Amino acid sequence: MSKPHIAAGLSVLAKSASDANGVKLAAHIACHLSHSTPLAVNLLEFDLGYPLRSLGLRSSAYGQTPAGRINLRRASNLIYRTVGRALGEPPGGFDELDHTRYIQAAKTRLGQDGPNRDGFYLAPSFWAFSSHDDRVMVRTAWDEARRLAVAGLKALCHRDSESRSSACYRRWFGDATPSRTAAVGQVLQRVYSGLQQACVSVSCMHRVTDDLTIVEKGVSAGGGTVSAKVTNAAVWGTAWHRGGFLCLGSNFFDPLLSSRLRTTIHRTARGSGLEISRGGAILHEATHLFGNTDDLELVKVPDFFADPEFEEGKKNPDAAAYGPWICARVADLAPHLAVDNADSFRLFCEDAFARVG
């Protein structure tokens, strides 16, 4: 389940894009929660409930509602229990001014910089809008993406000595040339290192609430700071190579659209579908994030539009190179562009893993 009491505290800290320190402080707390045990997080959620101590509260003299006063106390205690021990204990009651001062001091002292701990963390939106199963799914998929990157690197190293690895490479990147092979290897090495070590915020775009808004970096195009209260986004994910942010949409969590790691190679027949594993979706976005890949626009491959089978592309001039059938055709028609296309890397690594896994 989501953590409504923790989410309420986070929303106090990160309710405005103009409050950069509050947004960074909320990210610090989310990073801490991501590296805590489920038991510790559940205990914190319980302790922030205040079911009895808040009975009989009235609006403050400054206009703060009872719910607002409770959330201020949640925010200050959330800070102290996660990243703010050095600040000392927060106020014990529900006084609006006392908690506001404590929170402001925390923003000043702790909100100057964002998290810098190695490894990914689940952004504030994940704690507000997602379930425990969703969070486990992301952790599992991240580990699977690392395994895919390793499989891709091994296949690349063995392409000259193993016919299967060579065929796998040609299928998604065309004939091997030294420059293209080196480019593929550089991207995969950066992806593996990034998945292993980089401090990356993973946001959640697939939940909507009407009464809670949390602002965070990374949920908008270009990695800007906007509200994480986003309409159900029918995408697998999005990432921007200039920031440490990766956002996952509803398709990632849909068991009909995403799966565990594949154990069979992809079909390249027309109409075979996208065939996306969740680890593959993370790896696709990681190539954007760490390898500066693109989603190739098919208008850059004129021969593709001459193909009589490509009816969908003729109707959609913005079509991009996603899925086995299209990416295999790109490898045949424009291999120099395939080495910059994110889904070509996803398909290569998934096939490499299926061949040895």
Calculated CA dihedral for residues 130, 132, 133, 135, nearest 10 degrees: 70
Query: For residue 75, which of 53, 54, 44 has the smallest C-alpha distance?
Result: 44
CA 216: distance to chain centroid?
13
Q: What's the token pair of residue 346?
A: 């996803």
Q: Which pTM value belongs to this model?
A: 0.89
- Using an 8 Å Cβ cutoff, are 241 and 288 in contact? yes
How far is 105 from 13, CA to CA, in rounded Å? 12
pLDDT in tens, the chain (357 residues): 679 999 999 999 998 888 999 999 999 999 999 999 999 999 999 999 986 566 567 776 666 788 888 999 999 999 999 999 999 999 988 889 999 999 999 999 999 888 988 889 999 988 888 888 999 999 999 999 999 999 999 999 887 666 777 889 999 999 989 999 999 999 999 999 999 999 999 988 765 555 677 888 765 555 555 555 544 567 888 887 777 888 888 899 999 888 888 888 999 888 778 889 999 999 999 999 999 999 998 888 877 766 666 665 555 656 789 999 999 999 999 999 999 999 999 999 999 999 875
Output phi, psi for 245, to 5 deg. -135, 135
DSSP code of 266?
Answer: P
Paired residues of 239 in beta bridges: 246
How many other C-beta atoms lie within 10 A of the C-beta of residue 44? Answer: 19
Contacts of 332 (CB under 8 A, 6+ apart): 174
CA angle at 110 for the pair 108 and 116, rounded to the nearest 5°: 140
